[in-house]
């Protein structure tokens, strides 16, 4: 019987396939209460193993992996996606940059060539503790598997919804800084506001890297760009849309600050005046305030927009009043 289980990366960085192999070896070592060993040579792979939560007990010159490790299935390229065509040869760092949580990545890697007994573990979301309990080399696939980005999307979405808000903010900050929407040093007041911004779009979020484009309606509003969007044009071309815009805009411009209570009052007044209701009422207003006829509820977004307009951001967030003025100057 082996006295330890050894993982040796093929390069200075981890690919998806080598990360999967490391996980399987680590699970076996922990289950059997054996030391998990890695080479002494430096490399980025060390930080990548730490990011995944795979710690090691010893640094060795060499070692023998278990017999089953020689038959681990290859990870073939999946279907082409907007992010490219990924496979086992894709660098782990590339997947990480998409905005995948380490627990979601670990979960996904485990399912690349291994499946639990369905009766013991329905679903596809597994914590590290659950994997330690369920994983076994007997359930390793005997044929190549494909990199399934759709499965990764589902798994990461599930883990994002379980993540604490403050941790999401911490993970999201670098993406917003690269977009030029947050300063290099982010004070607490900005973090608290960003937490509300993220909460508004979290229900449909799949990857952290998508947060800036999903929240562009807050940070980077331009009425001219809104009028170029096919979905927005369709909402504005419906009968009565122009009357809704005009009636709402006149009332919204009476105040310098739009509150949720005042928004509800204005909407009720516009409904009575125009006799328009439902999505035919709300969608033109959504386009005027956010640039799109869909997205988070305006009652959640309005306080975020108004607070953002007063914060010291690299690119100023436009207030609701400014958005109404800008939009009506082009459309009404």
Tokens, residue 327: 């939009």
Share of the chain above pLDDT 70, in %: 98
- Domains, in order of start, for the chain: 1-162 (3.40.50.620), 211-331 (1.10.10.350)
- pTM here? 0.91
Residue 288 is predicted with a pLDDT of 97
Report CA-CA distances (Å) from 190 to 30, 193, 256. 42, 5, 22
Does the pLDDT of residue 2 top 90, yes or no? no
Instruction: List pLDDT tens digits, range 57-87.
Output: 988 767 778 889 999 999 999 988 887 889 9
In the chain, where does DSSP find H-type helix? Answer: 16-31, 44-52, 92-97, 102-110, 128-134, 149-162, 165-179, 188-201, 211-214, 216-219, 223-228, 230-236, 241-252, 260-274, 279-290, 298-308, 320-331
Integer-rounded Cα Rg, in Å, for the chain is: 25
* pLDDT at residue 28, as a whole number: 96
Q: What is the pLDDT of residues 224-260, one digit of tens each?
A: 999 999 999 999 999 999 999 999 999 999 999 999 9
What the block records as the tokens of 113 is 């060539």
Q: pLDDT at position 79, please? A: 87
Q: What is the pLDDT of residue 119?
A: 67
């Amino acid at each position: 019987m082996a006295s330890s289980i050894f993982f040796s990366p093929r390069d200075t960085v981890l690919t998806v396939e080598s990360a999967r192999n490391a996980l399987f070896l680590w699970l076996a070592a922990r289950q059997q209460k054996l030391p998990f060993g890695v080479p002494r040579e430096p490399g980025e792979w060390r930080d990548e193993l730490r990011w995944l939560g795979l710690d090691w007990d010893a640094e060795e010159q060499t070692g023998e992996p278990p017999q089953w490790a020689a038959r681990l299935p290859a990870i073939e390229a999946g279907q082409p996606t907007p992010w490219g065509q990924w496979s086992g040869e894709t660098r782990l760092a590339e997947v990480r940059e998409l905005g995948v949580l380490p627990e979601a990545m670990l979960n996904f890697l485990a399912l690349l060539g291994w499946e639990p007994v369905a009766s013991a573990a329905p679903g596809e979301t597994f914590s590290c503790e659950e994997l330690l309990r369920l994983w076994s080399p007997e359930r390793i696939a005997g044929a190549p598997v494909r990199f399934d980005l759709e499965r990764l999307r589902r798994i990461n979405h599930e883990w994002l919804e379980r993540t604490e808000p403050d941790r999401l903010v911490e993970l999201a900050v670098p993406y917003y800084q690269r977009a030029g929407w947050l300063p290099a040093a982010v004070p607490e007041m900005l973090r608290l506001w960003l937490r509300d911004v993220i909460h508004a779009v979290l229900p449909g979020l799949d990857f952290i890297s998508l947060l800036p484009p999903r929240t562009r309606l807050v940070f980077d509003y331009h009425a001219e760009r809104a009028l170029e969007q096919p979905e927005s044009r369709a909402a504005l071309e419906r009968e009565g849309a122009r009357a809704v815009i005009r009636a709402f805009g006149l009332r919204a411009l009476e105040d310098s600050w739009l509150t949720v209570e005042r928004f509800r009052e204005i909407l009720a007044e516009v409904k009575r005046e125009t006799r328009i209701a439902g999505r035919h009422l709300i969608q033109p207003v959504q386009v005027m305030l956010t640039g799109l006829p869909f997205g988070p509820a305006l009652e959640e977004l309005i306080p975020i927009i108004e607070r953002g307009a007063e914060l010291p951001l690299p690119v100023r967030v436009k207030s609701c009043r400014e958005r109404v003025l800008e939009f009506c100057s082009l459309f009404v």
